[in-house]
Amino acid sequence: QVQLVESGGGSVQSGGSLKLTCAASGNPYSSYCMGWFRQAPGKESEAVAAISSDGRTSYANSVKGRFTISQDNPRNTLWLQMNTLEPEDSANYYCAAAWPGPCTVEVGRLINSPYRGQGTQVIVSP
């Protein structure tokens, strides 16, 4: 079992920045794919960033160039730096960890993983 706890959400004006933090613990997950996905009311979940155990990153086109995912060693903490936020970024953001395998935002493994946090809300006002 992997436990994930997010923090750092909040309200910000368009163009502002937020940094989300995910504290990870539990069964060995050092080789897992880890990342963030978001879900806005009435919309499907969207994986926004993923990072592999060796540090390779993947981003959704909607956030590329604005969001940066990072992790410490030994992956106790995962971060998502979000810059130039837009109202369309408003959503609940979830930290997730998926079993070892392809680690990109396209494969949907983060969204479908049973290992996720409780979410942190991000609200971006115009």
Q: Tell me the pLDDT of the chain (126 aa) as tens digits.
A: 899 999 999 999 999 999 999 999 987 788 899 999 999 999 999 999 999 999 999 999 999 999 999 999 888 999 999 999 999 999 999 999 998 889 999 888 999 999 999 999 999 999
Which residues are within 8 A (CB) of 17 and not within 5 positions of it... i.e. 6 or more apart? 81, 82, 83, 84, 85
Reported as a single tens digit per residue, the pLDDT across 79-95 is: 999 999 999 999 999 99
Torsion angle, CA of 88/86/64/2, rounded to 10 degrees? -70
Residue found under tokens 């979410």: 119
Reported as a single tens digit per residue, the pLDDT across 63-76 is: 999 999 999 988 89
